[in-house]
Amino acid sequence: MKALTDSFSRELGAFGAGVGAAAAAPGVGTATTLLAATAELAWFTGRAGDLVLTVAALHGRPAPTVDERRAWMLAVLIYGGSARDGFTKAINEANTGIATTPGSRLPLSTLQTVNRLLTPRLVKRYGTRRGAIALGTALPLGIGALVGGSANYLAVRALARHADEFFLRLPYSAIDTTAIDIGGVLPSGPSG
């Protein structure tokens, strides 16, 4: 886990420093600086997703569904150190009464609802944090390089720690792909 975290930290720290250094270059301009910051946000977010999924695989979850990947990344990116609690709260908002104890199975429809609930929160919480870093990288005189590199380096280390904590205590064991969700109607048992 340490080697993984170190590798991602160095990569994304260097990328953030490079974006900040571009702001210090004479003649670059505001539009180019903003374009570089936008590209850095996209690259950081994509690599953050790679990190979260790699940590999931290290915790014995190597083949998640698309909905699981989305939910895990959203939970860790939005809630950080309290990802498990935020994720559990979203599950309860999506469908009260679902057990979120270790070993329970989560209906796919509930997970899809969780993703719809978490997506707008990503823009609000994660977007605000990354936006502040993007503004910091636009500072002139090399300060942006220091801000961008340091912020990314520290953010990746925290992200790896938060993902590790999340997967240590993931609030369900698997997606129940055989569950039938018919808007509150309970499926009937076998007729006999």
Instruction: Give domain limits for the chain.
Output: 2-176
Amino acid at 152: N
Q: How would you write the pLDDT of the chain (192 residues) with one tens digit per residue?
A: 899 999 999 999 999 998 888 877 777 777 787 788 888 889 999 999 999 999 999 999 888 899 999 999 999 999 999 999 999 899 888 875 555 566 677 888 888 999 999 999 998 898 888 888 888 888 877 888 899 999 999 999 999 999 999 999 886 766 665 655 545 444 444 544
CA 133-66-169 angle, 5° bins? 70
How high is the pLDDT of residue 188? 46
Q: How far apart are CA 99 and CA 61, in angstroms?
A: 20
The full 3-state SS of 47-88, as one line of letters, equals HHHHHHHHHHHHCCCCCCCHHHHHHHHHHHHHHHHHHHHHHH
How high is the pLDDT of residue 45? 93
How high is the pLDDT of residue 27? 75
Q: In the 8-state DSSP scheme, what is residue 182?
A: B
